Amino acid sequence: MNHEEILARAKEYISFETDQFFSDEVKALLEKGDWKELEDRFYRDLEFGTGGLRGVIGGGFNRMNTLVVTRATQGLCDYLKEQFPDKPLSACIAYDSRRKSKEFSLATALVFAANGIKAYLFSSLRPTPELSFAIRKLGADTGVVVTASHNPPQYNGYKAYWNDGSQVVPPHDTGIIQKVLKVRDVKLMPESEARAKGLLVNIDKDIDEAYVAMVKSHLLRPELFSKMADSVKVIYTPLHGTGAMLFERIMKDLGLNVLTVPEQREPNGEFPTVSYPNPEEAAALSMAIEFGKKTHADVVMATDPDADRLGIAVPDGSGGFTLVTGNQLGSLHLDYIALTLKELGRMPPRPASIRSIVTTEFQKAIAEKYGIASFECLTGFKWIADLMRQFESNGYDFVYATEESYGHLIEQEVRDKDGISAAALTAEMTLYWRSQGKSLLDRLEDLYREFGYFEEKGLSAYFEGEKGMQIMSGIMDAYRREQPKQFGRIPVVWTRDIKAGTAWDRAGKISSISLPKSDVIQWRLEEGTLLTVRPSGTEPKIKYYILCHSVGEDLAKAKAETKRKIAAIEADIKAVIDAHRK
């Protein structure tokens, strides 16, 4: 993009932006002549990905700011009115602790109000799963949560939801974008007028109480809490996000002894004590784990800033703590839910679980043991919700859903991952296995001995800006031009190109794929390993997922063999990435 194109785009942005903070930022860059930064802000428009809008906060069409947020909302309003022309419409809005989240959420509500759509707005920050719950509870037609989940502090985002409480999927996501691209004038209503007309109302306590009751209603063995809750100590960190209020309330109601990391309890969009407020990262839990060691805790729990993800660590028996991965926790959840439903005679007629295509196949093995159908979907919880929607008409009974990135869903009243309800289930599961004389790690080892050892590893390579997107596209194109025959010296058995909608084995037999098209390639290797590559839909990076499985009577040998295979595959991946960086 040349300077003239950048200048034209910048002037257009300044003329439409109503927030002086952001327009002044762009003006300053123009005066400075910082064309590299300006190019990054204007070479494209911020687009919907697997998590909706997400980007660095700042002025520009490729940034998160008031103009981008209000245009997205206007486009959403236009699309809703087209879809439901004769219906009184309503929307729910929530936000997290990030920079500008409160301002963006109010601006969103005022666009809804100006378009005659009643806006139900939380007056203070709330977890993302509560937003999904509120949509369903209030019968709203759409919803928005302003969050960038676990991204670094310079990011914010905008997740749009449909009337079933799930994030928008095709055709609605592309339909909304088409409307957004056509927006030139955004309707806005003053807050005082919106409130006076009943087009802006706050929702707080009533939804909070209903959500808390819902979470507790999904406990499978509630008697465990009355008998044993005081014997377990939980250390918790909300990582400066939204989780503390509801997490602490629910755990206290259940009688559990919860200590929240004081330095990380209060909401703070700067996330001063962590590099990344992500429970997937070991460093994010380090402060909580140290607190756990000092207090001899039985489990450490962490939720991300919008409290839809849950990460845990448990004592290792030697004075330290072991981090439990999202894949492992999801497997433990499914195992516990299934054995409990079976033991209590509550297994539904056609039970079904859901996992993403990059989530451990350990869960498929567990599901099959209990006669539970195991469905797979694309990465992103909106695709899990899409399958849940289909279950309502095809007769399957939802029991559990999870994805490797620490997302879990216990209940049907929410159609997004829910770190709060996952925490309640994890607490119950901890009590149950203690009553059986076991820890969560003991149960995990039992399952490995039964099904073989599963280990997963994710790799990410970051590529910033327009050039970075070209590099990532080049990596994917190269894989498609010359399909690898092996990784880590392990032969490829079959390849699945989800963007092309086809799969083929090494004999050349081709079959079609039922999944929606997405820029994803998967390779099944001999001995059961699955390797996946895809560009991220929310961050400037390309992601690899290695799902490895080794079987053997000697669990220690199976673990060592798995680690060897992962290391060899990882070396091949890094060689490809390094070649494209040059």
Q: Which residues contact 311 (CB under 8 A, 6 or more apart)?
A: 279, 280, 284, 285, 301, 302, 303, 323, 324, 326, 329, 406
Give percent helix, percent strand, percent coil of the chain, each to the nearest 5: 45, 20, 35
Q: Which of 446, 421, 440, 422 is nearest to 232 (CA)?
A: 440
Residue 325 carries which DSSP code? P
- Determine how β-strand 90-95 pairs with β-strand 118-121: parallel
Residue 6 carries which DSSP code? H
Q: Give 198-250 as a DSSP string.
A: TSEEE--HHHHHHHHHHHHHT-S-THHHHHHGGG-EEEEE-TTSS-HHHHHHH
- Choose the catalytic residue: 23, 105, 149, 331: 149
- Determine how β-strand 299-303 pairs with β-strand 310-315: antiparallel
Alpha helices in 229-325 (DSSP H): 244-253, 262-265, 286-295
Structure tokens at 560: 């060592």
Q: Which of 181, 197, 288 is nearest to 238 (CA)?
A: 288
**Which helix (H) or strand (E) is 104 found in, with range?**
helix 101-114
Helices 419-435 & 205-217 angle (0-180, nearest 10): 30
Bridge partner residues of 355 (DSSP): 376, 402
User: CA–CA separation, 96 vs 112, rounded Å?
Assistant: 19
Q: What is the 3-state secondary structure (H, E, C) of 338-372?
A: HHHHHHCCCCCCCEEEEEECCCCCHHHHHHHHCCC
Reply yes or no on whether 149 is catalytic.
Answer: yes
- The CA distances from residue 473 to 162, 463, 523, 536, in Å, are 30, 11, 18, 11
Cα 565 to the chain's mean position, in Å? 28
- Whether 236 contacts 288, CB under 8 Å: yes
- Whether 155 contacts 55, CB under 8 Å: yes
Radius of gyration of the chain (CA): 24
Bridge partner residues of 490 (DSSP): 487
Structure tokens at 322: 């072991």
Alpha helices in 452-553 (DSSP H): 465-481
Q: What is the 3-state secondary structure (H, E, C) of 402-451?
A: EECCCEEECCCCCCCCCHHHHHHHHHHHHHHHHHCCCCHHHHHHHHHHHH
Active-site residues: which are they? Answer: 149
